[in-house]
Structure 1
Amino acid sequence: MKNFIVLTSVLLGSSLLASTTISTNHSSRSKSNKRFSWGSSNPVGTVSIIIDKSDYELSIYDDKGWYATYPVVFGNSSLADKKMEGDKNTPEGSFRTTSKRVHEKWSRFIGIDYPTAESREKFKQRKQRGEIPANASIGGGIGIHGTWPHEGFVIDRYKNWTLGCISMKNEDVQEVYSFIPAGTKVTIRK
């Protein structure tokens, strides 16, 4: 009887371990996670954004620390750093938000200041090493925006579709848009 109980426990434990191991990193992040501060639904003080390309997450931080995390998608599935205009890659580095506007296709658009001096230097070095054509341009127009109407499923399925921007569900980008001022620090990393 003792052996039966031990064997059953081992088998149950193994199946639980296997089921948690098989699940992907993204399945647990299909909904946004938020912390609300002292009755206020908005972040407190200075706000910053960290976008983690490997985890498909955009996190908001304020003076109290972590505020919220939202699922996002990008341009190419390779998740490589942007090298030049037209490569569909999302740039990596330190940026600032520059503008906000209602967007007719993607709900809201929060522009970032790509290319920065750091981006231009990386671009110049890649040209010198012959990694990109001599006549390539660096590109621009990068921002954080929503999806086409009724296509939030691309975020749930982690389908990269943009030309290099960061895409969020429309309800999430509307929320972020409501409290992100121009000049907000944005860090994009792999």
Structure 2
Amino acid sequence: MLTNAFNRRAVRASLLVFACGALFTGSTSFCFRHSFNNYSIVIDKSDYELNVYDSKGWLIAYPVVFGSNDQHDKFWEGDRRTPDGHFRIVSKRVHEKWDRFMMLDYPTPENIALFNARKSRGLIPASARIGGGIGIHGTWPHEDYAIDRYQNWTMGCISMKNEDVEALYRYIPVGTSVTIQP
């Protein structure tokens, strides 16, 4: 019996390694970080929506709010704007103020290049910093009404109703692609 169970596990492991080998890109971690994540998120600032997609297409939409009423791209730390671009969720944690927090990899190399170009053209104060700490999170306790009223209140993050962020947190893994568009 033990031999048969061991053999089944060995066969399954071999199939997994074979499947990952078929996707080989030069990094063995690529297979495990990306090939089993069927989800992606698209956040549309103009529609105040966070849309979740899986391998079959659109799955669900959640209402969201942002930092500033100014829906343009984030320029510098403290401008309260939400950045545009392509990001990944790099960590998840329970948050003491905002229920759940899913950290994005902002700033990306593209964000840094754009920040430096804007700074060199004088569009950003010389003393400005790019910032960080952008993520998807809930609201203060009992303040989900801010989402219903489209009240932008964050410092640049994406805020959801607490029950929505809890649902998203349960099934969206670290590594999920997040696109934020105007």
TM over 0.5: yes
Q: Distance in 2 between matches of 1:100 and 1:77?
A: 26
- Corresponding residue for 2:38? 46
Q: Distance in 2 between matches of 1:168 and 1:73?
A: 7
Q: Percent identity?
A: 64
- Corresponding residue for 2:103? 111
Q: Distance in 2 between matches of 1:145 and 1:72?
A: 10
Matched, 1:77 2:98: no
- Corresponding residue for 2:181? 189
Using the TM superposition, give the Cα deviation of residue 65 of structure 1 relative to its aligned residue in structure 2, in angstroms: 0.3
1:159 to 130, 133, 151: 151
5 Å-filtered alignment, 1:23-172, equals 46-172=38-164
CA deviation profile, 1:74-125 (whole Å, cap 9, x unmatched): 0000111100000000000000000000001100000000000110011011
**CA separation of 1:115 and 1:45: change in aligned 2, threshold 3 A:** closer
> Structure 2: where are the runs of 5+ without partners?
1-35
Q: Is the 8 A contact 2:37 2:176 kept in 1?
A: no
SS of 2:89's equivalent in the other structure is: strand
Q: Distance in 1 between matches of 2:82 and 2:61?
A: 19
SS of 1:82's equivalent in the other structure is: coil
- Corresponding residue for 2:14? none
Q: Distance in 2 between matches of 1:121 and 1:187?
A: 18
Q: Distance in 2 between matches of 1:164 and 1:103?
A: 17
Structure 2 counterpart of 1:51, one-letter code: I
> Structure 1: where are the runs of 5+ without partners?
1-43
CA root-mean-square deviation? 1.0
SS of 1:61's equivalent in the other structure is: strand
Q: Distance in 2 between matches of 1:155 and 1:79?
A: 16
Using the TM superposition, give the Cα deviation of residue 145 of structure 1 relative to its aligned residue in structure 2, in angstroms: 0.1
Q: Distance in 2 between matches of 1:136 and 1:163?
A: 15
SS of 1:186's equivalent in the other structure is: strand
